[in-house]
Amino acid sequence: MDVDSEPISALIRLGFTQYEAQAYTALAGQPPLTGAEVGRRAGMPLSKVYETLNRLEARGAVLVNRSEPVRYAAVPHTDLLGELRSRMAADVQAAAAAFDRLPAQREPGLVWSLSGREPIVQAFARTIDKASSIIFAGVWDEELETLGPLLEAAAARGIETHVAIYGTRILSGPTTYDLSECGASARLRLAGRRLAVVVADDSEAVVAEFGDRTPDQATLTTNPVMALLAVEYVKADVLGRLLINAMTPAAYKKLLRTADAQAILRPIAASSK
């Protein structure tokens, strides 16, 4: 097969079969081709070529010249993708309306487990988007690349938004708290792991652990006690930073030498032995 695999993968994600994607990509940007020529360019068995081209014609992706021999041409990709975009938008809207009509039967207070970065970040995004009055968040630079614009949008629509930032990124709109120094020490203490939190309306919370060497995992909950605990975690970190900032360097160093501080700040790996 001498056609690019990237557009094939993209078409498959849009609902084309493997053979349909190969055949369309083989035709794209080419003069009209016979079925046999399509098969050679696409690396497809001849027994599959004509039924695949018939399906592509039925979905409006290829044009057919029924001369002798029959030749096929790809509908320009801009036209095809524009039609797919419109059709998918309409389908998504219809599906949303249908699901909105279903009765809500979600049981409050349950705790759900999530694993993998993408599902976790999506849960953060949904929680931010659903907030109607207030958001508390403690987020690291790595996640702010995706969540930052959503938090800014929440503030712009009138949501009281508080964000503790464990890094150097800056947000416009939310009330932010610079916890970059806390983040650096926490990353060392937790062996590269980082804890991120988003709480909406004091009622729905996502608490996630991301790791450099450990699996990403999280909990999603509407349990009010868990939501309160997550909010208090953010507030405690912010207040701790404000208190440290108000101390003289000498007083802070003296505090770190106390037995209580050393016990609390002992690295997790050392305390678990």
Instruction: For 173-193, write each residue's pLDDT tens digit.
Output: 999 999 988 877 777 777 778
- Type of residue found at 121: V
What are the E-state strand segments in the chain? Answer: 33-34, 62-65, 71-74, 111-115, 134-140, 160-166, 175-178, 194-200, 204-210, 217-221
Q: Which residue(s) pair with 74 in the sheet?
A: 62
DSSP-derived pairing of the beta strands 194-200 and 175-178: unpaired
Joined tokens for residue 238: 């912010």
3-state secondary structure at position 272: coil
- Write the pLDDT tens digit of every residue in 22-62: 999 999 999 999 999 999 999 999 999 999 999 999 999 99
Give the whole-angstrom CA distance, residue 108 versus residue 89.
31
Show the 3-state SS of 93-149. HHHHHHHHCCCCCCCCCCEEEEECHHHHHHHHHHHHHHCCCEEEEEEEHHHHHHHHH
Q: Check whether 92 has a pLDDT greater than 70.
A: yes
CA atoms within 13 A of residue 259's CA, in its CB half-sphere: 0
Q: What is the mean pLDDT of the chain?
A: 90
What CA–CA distance (Å, rounded) separates 169 from 241? 17
Length of the chain: 273
What pLDDT is attached to residue 212?
78
Q: Cβ(53)–Cβ(21) under 8 Å?
A: no
pLDDT band at 2 (very low <50, low <70, confident <90, very high): low
Domains of the chain with CATH codes = 5-79 (1.10.10.10), 111-271 (3.30.870.10)
Averaged pLDDT for residues 164-179: 94
pLDDT average, residue stretch 198-225: 92
pLDDT at position 269 is: 53
**Helices then strands, each counted (H, E), the chain:** 12, 10
Look at residue 140 and tell me whether its pLDDT is greater than 80.
yes
More confident: 127 or 100: 127
User: Two tokens at 56?
Assistant: 């592509």
Q: What is the mean pLDDT of residues 4-30?
A: 93
Report the pLDDT averaged over residues 65-72: 94
Query: Exposure string (b/e) for 159-186, b if CB count within 10 Å is 16 or more?
Result: bebbbbbbbebebebbebbbbeebbeeb
